[in-house]
Structure 1
């Protein structure tokens, strides 16, 4: 008579090597979410710092400092989003392992139930045949669970590698009012990202040993003659699944940074204006690619978004008046008494020079009176 314990051992070996998938409180996922929360707070504080700096300081040097501070602000927002997405990846990886562990428990219990149901017949040649066949079938199901979970974790590992901030990210030249806090947040997030990526990778290692744990003849036969349908698990890349917070619309700028416009109309206007980069300056011009002037560019771009602007630059200060520098968003207009430019985010403007180009944000423009920043879609 064959020992049932011998037949069930490969399944128990798979189960013991698999792990639970339960993350400890205060682990990588919680730490990533905490870092993102800190960066969000720093982002809010930076708005106030930028506004205070512009109140106390103006001129070319102030414009340069504002541009740099806004770039830091964008960087902190991006890192916060990455941290939240990384935490999601870790949680999803753990959930895959937890699901696999529950599935394996169910497979083991199913085999035990079938063996018990045979009763005394298990001692007969026919009963033994049924029992061995059942053992092979259940082991094959267990190996399918391991393979499925390995594939899911490979997807999560790839997603984590995609989200990990590059090592070159450095806030060393930030304004003093912002630098220390954001630098600490970035360094903390980078360290946690490395740890989280390691966690996702490490959590899959026991599965390789679990798959090799089935070393009995029954296991070998089960692996060479699979007889159960393979399970599949579709995992959505969290960098694609994460919806933009609030009603904002994400835009990727030519420099690779990701910013958020306040709404679809502002986003369309920014994309349209950027599409005109390289167009030569023609006074009174309205045609991207052929010839355009400053107010012609912003009027055209917002026209593409269904928002009508006056033709003259000094009259385009419409919508929400006097947006503070620390609260600027893509699509806002910088208006002078003879010039207008569009804020695109990350401390930059797009404007009709010769040709249309992207430059650092500023309030100075060859001695013109600066009217302020405006949001036409407000």
Structure 2
């Protein structure tokens, strides 16, 4: 009886070394989601703390503390979002490996079916030639699966790197590093599985096929598969998980989330006017603008009409608490108005229009509060 183990062994080696892609409970993706959940808890505690401080005290010192706390809030929210996105990427990478493993299992079974069908003629040169040809074809299919999965995992690894920008608050740098490590180790581990499986196959195919060929005097070239990586999706300004928020990247590089598209458009428009000289009564960034002219113009670009006078722009949701501020909210005084852009900052028409830390003090004016025109 002819021993065909040398021909089929490379396929068995590939199947056994490829891995299942099944992530154990408590693995990297679960760890990332747990970390994001903990960050969400920190964010909620921070919101409560910011509101408590502002209810108890006021003044420049409290404004500075609030601005700092809001920057930490932005960092924690960004890290939480990124952690959940990383977990999704890791799960997708695992799914690619699972799909590849199932395809390889099918390739092995297909080859065994061919061998079974050729059993009556295995002892003949023609039978051996057919078996070797089938082995080479199936090995080529297996290599194609390995190559495709390697490319897919490479794309997911790149997606992980895109989700790991430097945090805007050094206080949360350790959390960011830990989340990145979880995701990177998971992605790298899955990628290494496919890469080592491919290398193992290449190392064993040559000797096995050469041995089989020497019995028949036949030679064929091994087939290779093409890679079709599927790019990871994402957007620098995508909506939030509940479908209502819109993310914005600020000039300082931080990412914040406006409550809706109107507020996001107003923030972008106001930021676009930075550098415009102050002109009393002005409402055009091209020729000069004042404080209420800036906010009226910015919200006008979003299709939201505001009164012309600063002290009359306290419309929409009244008295938004400092810990609940969102980009697009207005800080209103009895003679001045500014727009919150997020990350503890606001944009306002000074001379020129500029971005500065959030505050409630303004030349002794009475502070009316924070308002959300789009509520």
TM-score, structure 1 normalization: 0.91
Inter-CA distance 232–69: structure 2 relative to 1 (3 Å threshold): same
- 1:323 is aligned, of 320, 324, 327, to 320
Cα separation, 1, equivalents of 2:31 and 2:147: 30
Match of 1:263 among 234, 253, 260: 260
Q: Deviations over 1:31-68 (max 9, x none)?
A: 11001001111112211111100011100111101111
**Residue in structure 2 matched with residue 213 of structure 1 by the alignment:** 200
Give distance in 1, aligned partners of 2:324 and 2:260: 15
Matched position secondary structure for 1:216? helix
The structural deviation recorded for 1:219 is 5.5
- Of 337, 343, 367 in structure 1, the residue corresponding to residue 340 of structure 2 is 343
Does the CA contact (< 8 Å) of 2:238 and 2:246 recur in 1? Answer: no
Q: For residue 18 of structure 1, what is the aligned residue in structure 2?
A: 18
Cα deviation, 1:55-88, whole Å, max 9, x if unaligned, reads: 1110011110111111111110000011111111
Residue of structure 2 equivalent to 1:253: 250
Q: Is the 8 A contact 1:332 1:373 kept in 2?
A: yes
Q: Contact 1:69–1:347 at 8 Å: present in 2 too?
A: yes
Any residues of structure 2 matched to 1:88-167 within 5 Å, and which? 88-166=88-166
Report matched runs for 1:40-79 at 5 Å: 40-79=40-79
Distance 1:32 1:229 in 2: 34
Larger CA deviation: 139-148 vs 150-159: 150-159
Shift of 1:3: 2.1
Q: Distance in 1 between matches of 2:118 and 2:156?
A: 42
Could you tell me whether the CA contact under 8 Å between 2:239 and 2:247 is conserved in 1?
no
Aligned to 2:370, the other structure's residue is in SS state strand
Aligned-partner SS, 2:340: strand
Task: Answer yes or no: is the 8 Å Cα contact 1:165–1:190 preserved in 2.
Answer: no
Match of 1:236 in 2: 232
Cα distance, 1:240 vs structure 2: 6.9
Q: Does 1:225 align with 2:221?
A: yes
**Structure 1: runs of 5+ lacking an equivalent:** 172-182
Q: Which runs of 5+ in 2 are unaligned?
A: 214-219
- 2:21 is paired with a residue whose SS is coil
Q: Which residue of 2 aligns with 1:176?
A: none
Partner of 1:175: none
Q: 1:355 — aligned with what?
A: 352
Question: What's 1:179 paired with?
Answer: none
User: Quick one: structure 1 residues 230 and 86, their matched pair in 2 at CA, closer, same or farther if it must change by over 3 Å?
Assistant: same
Matches within 5 A, 1:291-330: 291-330=288-327
